[in-house]
Amino acid sequence: ETGVTQTPRHLVMGMTNKKSLKCEQHLGHNAMYWYKQSAKKPLELMFVYNFKEQTENNSVPSRFSPECPNSSHLFLHLHTLQPEDSALYLCASSQTFKSYGGGYNEQFFGPGTRLTVL
């Protein structure tokens, strides 16, 4: 496989369940991102990892817990979610979070996980 892959593609869970979303990139990148895409709302950046270190956490509720064991893998652990957390969760990667000169590298996105919380 190439590019950025995400599993599962679809997930339905109850509010008391615990589940995890997985993202894997095969591009040799060092930065990985989680985004939330809700209907009729802007894409929201949730977390950024650069060289396995979390560099951004945009006030995301603690029921979302990211994990980045290495530069190729990123997880989003979910527990006690709410129905309003139902959305498409997108993973992305880039060479680094910011380039040496301070600029931004292109992000490559995965196909997303469609999450439904009942």
Partner 1 sequence: AQTVTQSQPEMSVQEAETVTLSCTYDTSESNYYLFWYKQPPSRQMILVIRQEAYKQQNATENRFSVNFQKAAKSFSLKISDSQLGDTAMYFCAFLGDKIIFGKGTRLHILP
Binding site for partner 1 (CB under 8 A): 40-45, 56, 88, 90, 92, 102-104, 106-112
Element (H, E) at 18: strand 18-25
- Shortest separation between residue 61's beta carbon and partner 1, angstroms: 19
Q: Let me know if 89 is exposed, middle or buried by CB neighbors in 10 A (0-12, 13-18, 19+).
A: buried
Q: Are 105 and 3 in contact (CB under 8 A)?
A: no
Nearest of 65, 87, 64, 75 to residue 24 by alpha carbon? 75
C-beta of 2 vs 16, nearer to partner 1: 2
Instruction: Compute the least distance from the CB of residue 15 to partner 1, in Å.
Output: 25
Q: How far apart are CA 102 and CA 64, in angstroms?
A: 29
Closer of 72 and 105 to partner 1 (Cβ): 105
Task: Give the shortest CB-9-to-partner 1 separation in angstroms.
Answer: 9
Q: Which is nearer to partner 1, 20 or 105 (CB)?
A: 105
Min CB(79)–partner 1 separation in Å: 25
Q: Which residue has the tokens 């009729």?
A: 40
Of 5 and 17, nearer to partner 1 (C-beta) is 5
